[in-house]
Amino acid sequence: MLVDEQKENKEIAKQYKELLRISYQTLNEEDKKLIRVAFDTAVDAHRYQRRKSGEAYIFHPISVAKIVAEQIGLDATSIAAALLHDVVEDTAYTLDDIERLTTPEVAKIVQGLTKISNLKKDKDISLQAENFRKMLLTLNDDVRVIIIKIADRLHNMTTLQHMAEYKQVKIASETLFIYAPLAHRIGLYNIKTELEDLGLRYTDPQRYNSIKNKIEETKEEQDLYIDHFSSLVKKTLDKEAIRYEIQGRSKSIFSIHRKMAKQTIPFEKVYDKFAIRIIYKAQRRKEKFFAWKIYSILTDHFVPNPTRLRDWITAPKSTGYEALHVTVMGPENRWIEIQIRSERMHEIAEKGYAAHFKYKQGQQKDIGIDEWLDRLREILEANTGNAVDFVRDFKLNLYAEEIFIFTPKGELKSLPKGATALDFAFHVHTEIGMKTRGARVNGKLVPLSRVLKSGDQVEVITSENAKPTANWINFVQTSRARTKIKSSLNEEKKRIAAEGKEILRRKLKQLKIIIDAKKESYLVRYFKLNTTLDLYYKVGAGSIDNVQLKEFANHYNNSFINFFKKKLRPKTSRPAKELVTTTSNPNKLVFGKDKQQLDYVIAPCCSPIPGDEVFGFISINEGIKVHKMDCPNALALNSNYAYRIIDARWVDDSSDEFKAKLLLSGIDNIGLVNEVTKLISNNMNVNILSLSFTADDGIFEGKIDVSVKNKTLLNKLVDRLKQLQGIEKVTRN
Angle at which helix 343-351 crosses helix 189-203, to 10 degrees, equals 40
How far apart are alpha carbons 317 and 716 in whole angstroms?
Answer: 46
Q: What share of the chain is helix, strand, coil (3-state, %, to 5)?
A: 55, 15, 30
Question: 134: closest CA among 121, 117, 159?
Answer: 117
How far apart are alpha carbons 155 and 69 in whole angstroms?
Answer: 13
CA angle 175, 316, 254 (to 5 degrees): 30
HSE, side-chain direction, 13 A CA sphere, residue 464: 0
Residues in the chain: 733
Q: What is the phi-psi region of residue 292: left when phi exceeds 0, alpha when psi lies from -120 to 50, beta otherwise?
A: alpha
Give first-to-last CA distance, the chain, whole Å.
51
How far apart are alpha carbons 703 and 270 in whole angstroms?
Answer: 25
Catalytic: which of 8, 89, 141, 630? 89
Catalytic: which of 90, 99, 141, 647? 90
Question: 170: closest CA among 119, 126, 208?
Answer: 126
- Does 90 participate in catalysis according to the annotation? yes
Edge to edge, the sheet with strand 645-650 lists 589-591, 645-650, 614-618, 624-628, 600-602
Alpha helices for 102-164 (secondary structure H): 104-117, 127-137, 144-158
- Does 272 participate in catalysis according to the annotation? no
How far apart are alpha carbons 109 and 143 in whole angstroms?
Answer: 9
**H or E element that contains 692:** strand 687-696
Max distance between CA atoms of the chain, in angstroms, equals 99
How far apart are alpha carbons 320 and 332 in whole angstroms?
Answer: 35
Q: Which residues contact 707 (CB under 8 A, 6 or more apart)?
A: 657, 658, 659, 660, 686, 687, 688, 689
Residue 417: count of CB within 10 angstroms of its CB: 13
* Catalytically active residues, by annotation: 89-90
